[in-house]
A and B are shown apart, each in its own frame.
Chain A
Amino acid sequence: GAVVSQHPSRVICKSGTSVKIECRSLDFQATTMFWYRQFPKKSLMLMATSNEGSKATYEQGVEKDKFLINHASLTLSTLTVTSAHPEDSSFYICSARDAQRDLRDTQYFGPGTRLTVL
């Protein structure tokens, strides 16, 4: 159990276009989902925390108008990279926190989405 999926796994787009990445919790409800980005051979950096039905909380230095996050249901959060540029190329990873109290409090990570902006 506790599987998180992401779609797409890889995406290549032209500079100036927008890209949407989906994060789904497949077998549990997630009131909170997190979005990270990871550059090659670097660590994961938290971008934002999204709570179902409310606005996302962005980390310092992350542009909320650039990285739009929607968490419309307990099993789905989306990250839209608007007007993507080559410097946005990265590995984007989501995680979800299980809402059920009787399960272990932890974050379950998705497999990541490789974004390449040409």
Chain B
Amino acid sequence: GESVGLHLPTLSVQEGDNSIINCAYSNSASDYFIWYKQESGKGPQFIIDIRSNMDKRQGQRVTVLLNKTVKHLSLQIAATQPGDSAVYFCARGSGGYQKVTFGIGTKLQVIP
């Protein structure tokens, strides 16, 4: 079956350091891979996505890497800030964004 999962449930990072959140997927029939940030009691917030035919995409302080050979996706956050503390979900989109399937989530804790 299709699934999107994460290696680490919790990640603690010192403020100012870089964060890397990993995700493995088992089904490659996706148009997009997407990262969302969810703060406590709020809905998911789009961070960045990457088309399935790309390897890397950069945004403001974030970079997403896609390794289709090993079915691995990562989100890198540069100079992590306390405001980055949240749960991060990887997700895949099929049919464009017609159907988005979420992974388990990783909690990022930024230590001041």
Contacts and interface: CB of A to CB of B under 8 A. Distances in A.
A32 B99 CA distance: 11
Interface residues of A, number: 24
A43 B102 contact: yes
Contacts of A7: none
Interface string B6-42: 0000000000000000000000000000001000011
A75 B38 CA distance: 24
Given A34-B100, A106-B49, 11 more contacts: A32-B98, A43-B105, A44-B102, A49-B98, A95-B100, A97-B97, A106-B97, A109-B36, A110-B43, A111-B42, A112-B42
Interface of A: 4, 6, 32, 34, 36, 41-46, 49, 93, 95, 97, 105-112, 114
